[in-house]
Every structure is written in C-alpha cells, then in structure tokens.
Amino acid sequence: MKLMCGTANKPLAKAIADYLDAPLSNVEIETFADGELFVRIDENMRGEDVFLIQPTSKPANDHLMELLICMDALNRASARRITAVIPYFGYARQDRKTGGRTPITAKLVANLIAGAGADRVLTLDLHAGQIQGFFDIPTDNLFATPAMETDIRMNYDTDNLMIVSPDVGGVVRARALAKRLGADIAIVDKRRPHPGEAEVMNIIGDVDGRRCIIFDDIIDSGGTLCNAAAALKERGATEVSAYITHGVLSGKAVERIGESEMAELVVTDSIDSNDKLVGAKNVRALSVAPLLGEAIRRIANDESVSKLFD
C-alpha cells in the first residue's frame, strides 16, 4: 500500500499516515505562470495499491484538476489500483436539475474522476447518498456520526439533548445521530429565496428548555446556521450548538458564528480550516483521520468497511 496526497489538505493526510504508520509518498506539484499544474511522482508506483488523499475544497477547480492529474500520473506509472480518497466531494450540492438548462455537476465530476483512472472512491458524508450511484466504480461513503457521537458524549449531558435537522432533507442524518444518543429530534422548516440564502419559517418539535445540537453535513457562509440558532433560542432552547462535517466556512463565516447565538460549532478536518480557526472563540475542529485511516486499512486488506458503523 502507498499513501499519496495533493496540496488540498496536507495536515489531514499526515494524520492519516501517522494513524497507519505509513509514510506519504514523495510527489512534486508545481504551478506554471499560466496556472497549469505539473505533477511528478518521485517513487516507483508499478504494481502498487495507491490511496490518493485530496479533498476538492476551495479553490475547488484547482484541487479537482490536481486530483485528476495525480491519478493520470499514477495510471501512467502502472499503479495496480488507485483509490481516490476525497474527504470533501466538491460540487456535491449540484446533484440534480433545479431548473431548466442547469447542469448536474456532481455527475460530471464523477465521470471525470473515473475517466482519470480511479478504480474506487472513498468519501465522507456526501451531501446526498445517491451520488454514490453517479460512479460506475466501487464507492464507499463514510459517516462522521460515530466520531461526533463520541465527542458529544464527552462534552455534553445527553439527558436533555435535542438533535436538530436544519432542513427536511437532513432528517435521516439527524435521526441516525439521535438514535445513537437516545435523544429526540426537531426540524427547522426553511425556504431559500435565493441560492446561499435561507429564511427560517417554523420549528417542528418542542425545543423549550432543551439543549439543542444542530447536525448537518456542510456549513458554507454560516447564515443558515445562525438563523436557525436564533430561531431555536426564540422558541426557548437553553443552548444551541452545532456539529457539521464539512467546514467550508467561506467569507466571514467564522466571525458570523462568533457573533451569533451559537455556543459552539464543531467541524471535522475534512477541509483544511486551520488558518480560519486561529483565534476563533467558539469554533473547533474534530479529526476524522482515524476514521479515514481505518477505512483505508480495511480496503487495502479486503476487509469490510461497513463494520465501522455497526
């Protein structure tokens, strides 16, 4: 087995390598003056089982192209099997046609990854589970729920918890965490007048006197989360926190969270947010390196990945 990473999230790749007690392969990635990328792998890859770690986070297009070029280089180096480890799958929110003459970009990206030579894909908390069906190669979608459950039990009294889905589409995700914790669930009823904007319409469930934890897969600008936290507090919630898998945290999201009703926001390190979290008073990162590392070990040894979530 060989581990290799691009430039999108080197701290996570290093943590995975430490978990597996395996070195990261040497690779040179350079950018020409016109923005083109050049990749050179400085190790023999012939006949190797290679795991390439590269989330396609901001800048999404650059990191996606880097992933594709690295896989092409591995293919031409005669790697036996290439597994694209994509902790954050960019373009996942464009998974269906939302209007006339719009693309399904998640499917396009899936085609590009398979066409570049990936033999299988390993992801974390896809925005929609059916995106796995966009790939014609084996795809394992991991869940951060067990890691978050452990962290919640360490930091919260679970007797008075209410798990909150920020929209109807996230109910299944919220119910899965609530079941593990033995907690109730509530739902935020919202609408989106424009892309990237959300307006809370109603809270489904009695949150009065409860400690609420909003559970979702992606936080981008933070506006939706802050509005939901304010609405929950207005309905009598004693405290509102949030556990979100992918901390995109674009723009002034961290500052917005700091000024909101949110007691704490916990994101995983699927996206490298270290620079954004410096000085953040109520935002912290939870590592998913052990989860990804164990999944990689099981795939390499042809063991069950689903057993991780039993």
Q: Are 87 and 6 a contacting pair, CB within 8 Å?
A: no
Cα dist from 281 to 112, 272, 287, whole Å: 40, 18, 18
Q: Are 52 and 74 a contacting pair, CB within 8 Å?
A: yes
Query: Which of 307, 282, 285, 283 is closest to 297 using CA atoms?
Result: 307
Across-strand partners of 202? 189
132 is in an annotated binding site: no
180 is in an annotated binding site: no
Residues acting as catalytic residues: 190
222 is in an annotated binding site: yes
224 is in an annotated binding site: yes
246 is in an annotated binding site: no
Query: Which of 54, 91, 93, 92 is closest to 74 using CA atoms?
Result: 54
Task: Supply the DSSP symbol for 107.
Answer: H
127 is in an annotated binding site: yes
221 is in an annotated binding site: yes
Show the tokens assigned to 131.
């995106």
220 is in an annotated binding site: yes
Q: Are 44 and 76 a contacting pair, CB within 8 Å?
A: no
Show the tokens assigned to 248.
């995109």
d(CA 80, CA 109): 23
192 is in an annotated binding site: yes
Across-strand partners of 5? 53
34 is in an annotated binding site: yes
d(CA 194, CA 9): 31
Q: Are 101 and 69 a contacting pair, CB within 8 Å?
A: no
173 is in an annotated binding site: no
Task: For residue 159, give the amino acid letter.
Answer: D
Query: Which of 251, 254, 276, 250 is closest to 264 using CA atoms?
Result: 254
Question: Residues comprising the binding site?
Answer: 34-36, 93-94, 127, 167, 192, 216, 220-224
